[in-house]
Amino acid sequence: MADGDMTMETARGRGTFRADLAVLGVALVWGASYPVAKGALAHAPVLLLIFYRFATTAVVMSAIARRDLARASHGDLRAGAVLGGILFLIFLAEIGGIALTTATNAALIISLCTVFTPFLEYGLRGRLPPPGVILGAGIAVGGVAVLAGGMTALGPGDLLVLGAAGLRAVMVVSTKRLMAGRGLSSAALTALQSLTVAALSLAVLLGQRGPGGLVVSAGPGFWGAVGFLSLFCTIAAFYVQNAAVRRTSPTRVSLLMGTEPLFGVALAWLLLAEPVTAATLLGAGLIVGGTLCGVAAENAARRE
Protein backbone atom coordinates (compact mmCIF):
# COMPACT_ATOMS: atom_id res chain seq x y z
CA MET A 1 0.00 0.00 0.00
CA ALA A 2 1.39 3.41 -0.96
CA ASP A 3 2.21 6.00 1.69
CA GLY A 4 -0.59 8.24 0.41
CA ASP A 5 -3.11 5.40 0.66
CA MET A 6 -1.94 4.59 4.20
CA THR A 7 -2.29 8.23 5.20
CA MET A 8 -5.83 8.39 3.81
CA GLU A 9 -6.75 5.11 5.55
CA THR A 10 -5.35 6.40 8.85
CA ALA A 11 -7.31 9.65 8.48
CA ARG A 12 -10.51 7.70 7.79
CA GLY A 13 -9.86 5.51 10.82
CA ARG A 14 -9.36 8.54 13.05
CA GLY A 15 -12.52 10.15 11.65
CA THR A 16 -14.52 6.99 12.35
CA PHE A 17 -13.10 6.77 15.88
CA ARG A 18 -14.02 10.39 16.58
CA ALA A 19 -17.50 9.77 15.17
CA ASP A 20 -17.89 6.72 17.42
CA LEU A 21 -16.88 8.77 20.47
CA ALA A 22 -19.34 11.50 19.45
CA VAL A 23 -22.21 8.98 19.16
CA LEU A 24 -21.30 7.51 22.55
CA GLY A 25 -21.45 11.08 23.87
CA VAL A 26 -24.99 11.42 22.49
CA ALA A 27 -25.95 8.10 24.12
CA LEU A 28 -24.51 9.38 27.42
CA VAL A 29 -26.42 12.67 27.17
CA TRP A 30 -29.69 10.95 26.29
CA GLY A 31 -29.13 8.44 29.09
CA ALA A 32 -28.67 11.38 31.48
CA SER A 33 -31.98 12.91 30.33
CA TYR A 34 -33.99 10.41 32.40
CA PRO A 35 -32.58 11.25 35.85
CA VAL A 36 -32.41 14.96 34.89
CA ALA A 37 -36.10 14.98 33.88
CA LYS A 38 -36.98 12.99 37.02
CA GLY A 39 -35.29 15.63 39.16
CA ALA A 40 -36.97 18.52 37.31
CA LEU A 41 -40.40 16.96 37.86
CA ALA A 42 -39.93 17.52 41.58
CA HIS A 43 -40.31 21.27 40.87
CA ALA A 44 -42.86 21.44 38.04
CA PRO A 45 -45.60 19.29 36.46
CA VAL A 46 -45.13 17.29 33.27
CA LEU A 47 -46.72 19.75 30.83
CA LEU A 48 -44.75 22.69 32.16
CA LEU A 49 -41.45 20.86 31.73
CA ILE A 50 -42.43 19.87 28.17
CA PHE A 51 -43.45 23.46 27.33
CA TYR A 52 -40.26 25.13 28.52
CA ARG A 53 -38.02 22.44 27.02
CA PHE A 54 -39.55 22.71 23.56
CA ALA A 55 -40.13 26.45 23.64
CA THR A 56 -36.38 26.85 24.17
CA THR A 57 -35.61 24.34 21.42
CA ALA A 58 -38.07 26.03 19.03
CA VAL A 59 -36.49 29.47 19.51
CA VAL A 60 -32.96 28.18 18.85
CA MET A 61 -33.85 25.89 15.93
CA SER A 62 -36.11 28.49 14.27
CA ALA A 63 -33.21 30.93 14.29
CA ILE A 64 -30.89 28.31 12.79
CA ALA A 65 -33.37 27.19 10.11
CA ARG A 66 -35.06 30.54 9.40
CA ARG A 67 -34.19 30.52 5.68
CA ASP A 68 -35.37 26.95 5.18
CA LEU A 69 -38.60 27.71 7.03
CA ALA A 70 -39.22 30.77 4.86
CA ARG A 71 -38.94 28.59 1.72
CA ALA A 72 -41.07 25.74 3.08
CA SER A 73 -44.25 24.85 1.18
CA HIS A 74 -47.67 24.49 2.82
CA GLY A 75 -47.33 20.73 2.43
CA ASP A 76 -43.98 20.78 4.26
CA LEU A 77 -45.49 22.83 7.08
CA ARG A 78 -48.46 20.46 7.42
CA ALA A 79 -46.19 17.40 7.50
CA GLY A 80 -43.99 19.03 10.16
CA ALA A 81 -47.04 19.91 12.26
CA VAL A 82 -48.38 16.33 12.09
CA LEU A 83 -45.00 14.95 13.17
CA GLY A 84 -44.88 17.58 15.91
CA GLY A 85 -48.25 16.34 17.16
CA ILE A 86 -46.88 12.79 17.38
CA LEU A 87 -43.80 14.11 19.20
CA PHE A 88 -46.06 15.89 21.70
CA LEU A 89 -47.82 12.60 22.49
CA ILE A 90 -44.46 10.84 22.84
CA PHE A 91 -43.16 13.29 25.43
CA LEU A 92 -46.50 13.48 27.23
CA ALA A 93 -46.37 9.70 27.71
CA GLU A 94 -42.62 9.52 28.32
CA ILE A 95 -42.26 12.32 30.85
CA GLY A 96 -45.58 11.39 32.45
CA GLY A 97 -44.22 7.87 32.81
CA ILE A 98 -40.94 9.11 34.30
CA ALA A 99 -42.99 10.94 36.94
CA LEU A 100 -44.62 7.65 37.98
CA THR A 101 -41.78 5.14 37.64
CA THR A 102 -38.03 5.13 38.19
CA ALA A 103 -35.58 6.78 35.81
CA THR A 104 -33.93 3.35 35.54
CA ASN A 105 -37.09 1.64 34.26
CA ALA A 106 -37.84 4.53 31.89
CA ALA A 107 -34.37 4.44 30.32
CA LEU A 108 -34.61 0.70 29.71
CA ILE A 109 -38.23 0.42 28.54
CA ILE A 110 -37.99 3.33 26.07
CA SER A 111 -35.23 1.47 24.20
CA LEU A 112 -37.85 -1.02 23.00
CA CYS A 113 -38.76 1.48 20.26
CA THR A 114 -35.87 0.06 18.22
CA VAL A 115 -37.56 -3.36 18.08
CA PHE A 116 -41.09 -1.98 17.69
CA THR A 117 -40.14 0.02 14.58
CA PRO A 118 -39.42 -2.89 12.20
CA PHE A 119 -42.65 -4.65 13.26
CA LEU A 120 -44.63 -1.55 12.34
CA GLU A 121 -42.69 -0.92 9.13
CA TYR A 122 -42.93 -4.51 7.89
CA GLY A 123 -46.53 -4.82 9.10
CA LEU A 124 -47.59 -1.92 6.89
CA ARG A 125 -46.20 -3.92 3.95
CA GLY A 126 -48.09 -7.03 5.01
CA ARG A 127 -44.91 -8.91 5.95
CA LEU A 128 -43.19 -10.23 9.05
CA PRO A 129 -39.79 -8.85 10.11
CA PRO A 130 -36.69 -11.05 9.67
CA PRO A 131 -36.40 -13.92 12.19
CA GLY A 132 -33.50 -12.21 13.96
CA VAL A 133 -35.64 -9.13 14.60
CA ILE A 134 -38.44 -11.28 16.05
CA LEU A 135 -35.91 -13.10 18.26
CA GLY A 136 -34.42 -9.80 19.44
CA ALA A 137 -37.87 -8.43 20.23
CA GLY A 138 -38.71 -11.52 22.28
CA ILE A 139 -35.48 -11.21 24.27
CA ALA A 140 -36.06 -7.49 24.91
CA VAL A 141 -39.67 -8.01 26.01
CA GLY A 142 -38.42 -10.74 28.34
CA GLY A 143 -36.06 -8.16 29.81
CA VAL A 144 -38.98 -5.80 30.50
CA ALA A 145 -40.81 -8.67 32.22
CA VAL A 146 -37.79 -9.36 34.43
CA LEU A 147 -37.40 -5.66 35.18
CA ALA A 148 -41.02 -5.33 36.26
CA GLY A 149 -41.16 -8.64 38.14
CA GLY A 150 -43.48 -10.14 35.51
CA MET A 151 -45.54 -8.47 32.82
CA THR A 152 -48.58 -8.24 35.10
CA ALA A 153 -46.49 -6.19 37.55
CA LEU A 154 -45.93 -3.29 35.14
CA GLY A 155 -47.04 -0.10 36.87
CA PRO A 156 -48.84 2.88 35.28
CA GLY A 157 -45.55 4.72 34.75
CA ASP A 158 -43.96 1.70 33.06
CA LEU A 159 -46.98 1.34 30.77
CA LEU A 160 -46.82 5.03 29.82
CA VAL A 161 -43.14 4.72 28.90
CA LEU A 162 -43.95 1.54 26.97
CA GLY A 163 -46.60 3.53 25.08
CA ALA A 164 -44.01 6.24 24.40
CA ALA A 165 -41.69 3.59 22.94
CA GLY A 166 -44.48 2.49 20.61
CA LEU A 167 -45.15 6.10 19.62
CA ARG A 168 -41.45 6.58 18.87
CA ALA A 169 -41.75 3.71 16.39
CA VAL A 170 -44.79 5.44 14.86
CA MET A 171 -42.72 8.63 14.61
CA VAL A 172 -39.88 6.91 12.75
CA VAL A 173 -42.19 5.29 10.21
CA SER A 174 -44.35 8.41 9.82
CA THR A 175 -41.31 10.63 9.30
CA LYS A 176 -40.02 8.38 6.53
CA ARG A 177 -43.42 8.37 4.78
CA LEU A 178 -44.46 11.99 5.28
CA MET A 179 -41.09 13.51 4.41
CA ALA A 180 -40.39 11.35 1.33
CA GLY A 181 -39.70 13.63 -1.63
CA ARG A 182 -39.91 16.82 0.41
CA GLY A 183 -37.17 19.44 0.43
CA LEU A 184 -37.53 20.42 4.08
CA SER A 185 -34.18 20.30 5.89
CA SER A 186 -33.73 18.31 9.09
CA ALA A 187 -33.10 21.54 11.02
CA ALA A 188 -36.33 23.09 9.72
CA LEU A 189 -38.27 19.91 10.54
CA THR A 190 -36.90 19.94 14.08
CA ALA A 191 -37.93 23.59 14.43
CA LEU A 192 -41.47 22.85 13.19
CA GLN A 193 -41.84 19.87 15.50
CA SER A 194 -40.59 21.86 18.48
CA LEU A 195 -42.93 24.75 17.69
CA THR A 196 -45.87 22.34 17.48
CA VAL A 197 -45.01 20.64 20.79
CA ALA A 198 -44.57 24.00 22.53
CA ALA A 199 -47.86 25.32 21.09
CA LEU A 200 -49.86 22.21 22.05
CA SER A 201 -48.48 22.10 25.59
CA LEU A 202 -49.12 25.85 25.96
CA ALA A 203 -52.73 25.43 24.78
CA VAL A 204 -53.37 22.64 27.28
CA LEU A 205 -51.69 24.55 30.12
CA LEU A 206 -53.74 27.70 29.43
CA GLY A 207 -56.93 25.65 29.15
CA GLN A 208 -56.29 23.90 32.45
CA ARG A 209 -54.82 26.67 34.60
CA GLY A 210 -54.85 29.95 32.68
CA PRO A 211 -51.76 32.20 32.38
CA GLY A 212 -50.87 31.52 36.01
CA GLY A 213 -50.14 27.93 35.06
CA LEU A 214 -46.95 29.06 33.31
CA VAL A 215 -45.39 30.28 36.54
CA VAL A 216 -42.69 28.00 37.98
CA SER A 217 -41.72 28.30 41.63
CA ALA A 218 -38.37 26.61 41.21
CA GLY A 219 -34.73 27.47 41.67
CA PRO A 220 -31.82 27.28 39.23
CA GLY A 221 -31.89 23.48 39.35
CA PHE A 222 -35.11 23.35 37.32
CA TRP A 223 -33.93 25.90 34.74
CA GLY A 224 -30.61 24.12 34.48
CA ALA A 225 -32.50 20.91 33.71
CA VAL A 226 -34.56 22.71 31.03
CA GLY A 227 -31.37 24.11 29.48
CA PHE A 228 -29.67 20.70 29.53
CA LEU A 229 -32.68 18.90 28.02
CA SER A 230 -33.13 21.57 25.32
CA LEU A 231 -29.59 22.42 24.31
CA PHE A 232 -27.80 19.13 24.86
CA CYS A 233 -30.44 16.37 24.59
CA THR A 234 -32.25 17.90 21.60
CA ILE A 235 -30.18 20.43 19.65
CA ALA A 236 -26.55 19.37 20.17
CA ALA A 237 -27.38 15.64 20.06
CA PHE A 238 -29.32 16.15 16.81
CA TYR A 239 -26.32 17.74 15.08
CA VAL A 240 -23.76 15.29 16.45
CA GLN A 241 -25.78 12.25 15.41
CA ASN A 242 -26.31 13.54 11.87
CA ALA A 243 -22.65 14.48 11.49
CA ALA A 244 -21.58 11.04 12.75
CA VAL A 245 -23.75 9.23 10.20
CA ARG A 246 -21.84 11.01 7.42
CA ARG A 247 -18.51 9.71 8.75
CA THR A 248 -19.57 6.17 9.62
CA SER A 249 -22.53 3.87 8.91
CA PRO A 250 -26.13 3.96 10.18
CA THR A 251 -25.63 0.39 11.45
CA ARG A 252 -22.65 1.43 13.57
CA VAL A 253 -24.53 4.47 14.89
CA SER A 254 -27.57 2.34 15.80
CA LEU A 255 -25.43 -0.20 17.66
CA LEU A 256 -23.58 2.51 19.59
CA MET A 257 -26.87 4.24 20.45
CA GLY A 258 -27.93 0.94 22.01
CA THR A 259 -25.75 1.91 24.98
CA GLU A 260 -28.17 4.75 25.89
CA PRO A 261 -30.21 2.73 28.43
CA LEU A 262 -27.02 1.52 30.13
CA PHE A 263 -25.96 5.13 30.68
CA GLY A 264 -29.49 5.86 31.91
CA VAL A 265 -29.30 3.10 34.53
CA ALA A 266 -25.80 4.09 35.67
CA LEU A 267 -26.67 7.80 35.98
CA ALA A 268 -29.97 7.09 37.76
CA TRP A 269 -27.89 5.17 40.31
CA LEU A 270 -25.26 7.91 40.58
CA LEU A 271 -27.53 10.98 40.55
CA LEU A 272 -30.73 9.70 42.17
CA ALA A 273 -29.40 6.78 44.23
CA GLU A 274 -31.92 4.46 42.56
CA PRO A 275 -31.12 0.85 43.53
CA VAL A 276 -29.48 -1.47 41.01
CA THR A 277 -30.55 -5.03 41.84
CA ALA A 278 -29.73 -8.35 40.22
CA ALA A 279 -33.12 -8.21 38.45
CA THR A 280 -32.28 -4.71 37.15
CA LEU A 281 -28.98 -5.91 35.73
CA LEU A 282 -30.54 -9.03 34.17
CA GLY A 283 -33.42 -7.04 32.70
CA ALA A 284 -31.03 -4.39 31.38
CA GLY A 285 -28.83 -7.05 29.77
CA LEU A 286 -31.80 -8.71 28.07
CA ILE A 287 -33.29 -5.42 26.82
CA VAL A 288 -30.00 -4.09 25.44
CA GLY A 289 -28.97 -7.49 24.07
CA GLY A 290 -32.34 -8.03 22.40
CA THR A 291 -32.32 -4.51 20.99
CA LEU A 292 -28.84 -4.88 19.50
CA CYS A 293 -29.77 -8.32 18.10
CA GLY A 294 -32.84 -6.84 16.42
CA VAL A 295 -30.99 -3.83 15.03
CA ALA A 296 -28.17 -6.02 13.67
CA ALA A 297 -30.64 -8.45 12.05
CA GLU A 298 -32.63 -5.60 10.48
CA ASN A 299 -29.52 -3.96 9.06
CA ALA A 300 -28.24 -7.31 7.74
CA ALA A 301 -31.59 -7.90 6.00
CA ARG A 302 -31.45 -4.45 4.34
CA ARG A 303 -27.98 -5.18 2.94
CA GLU A 304 -29.14 -8.42 1.27
The listed range with the strongest mean pLDDT (12-26, 116-130, 159-173, 270-284) is 159-173
Average pLDDT, stretch 76-96?
A: 92
Write the CB contacts of 296 (distance below 8 Å, at least 6 apart in sequence).
132, 136, 251, 255
pLDDT bracket for residue 49 (50, 70, 90): very high
Average pLDDT, stretch 198-207?
A: 94
| Element counts in the chain: helices (H) and strands (E) | 14, 0
Cα–Cα distance for residue pair 296/3, rounded to 1 Å: 35
State the pLDDT at residue 28.
84
Share of the chain above pLDDT 90, in %: 22
The listed range with the strongest mean pLDDT (30-44, 135-149, 251-265, 266-280) is 30-44
State the pLDDT at residue 206.
92
State the pLDDT at residue 59.
94
- DSSP code at position 242: H
Coil vs helix vs strand at 248:
coil
- The more confidently predicted of residues 207 and 254 is 207
Encode pLDDT of 208-220 as tens digits: 888 887 888 878 8
Average pLDDT, stretch 113-125?
A: 81
Report pTM: 0.78
- Structural domain boundaries of the chain? 3-105+148-269
State the pLDDT at residue 242.
55
Give the DSSP per-residue string, 43-93: TS-HHHHHHHHHHHHHHHHHHHTHHHHHH--HHHHHHHHHHHHHHHHHHHH
pLDDT bracket for residue 6 (50, 70, 90): very low
Cα–Cα distance for residue pair 121/250, rounded to 1 Å: 17
Question: Which of 19-33, 59-73, 85-99, 203-217 is the least confident region?
Answer: 19-33
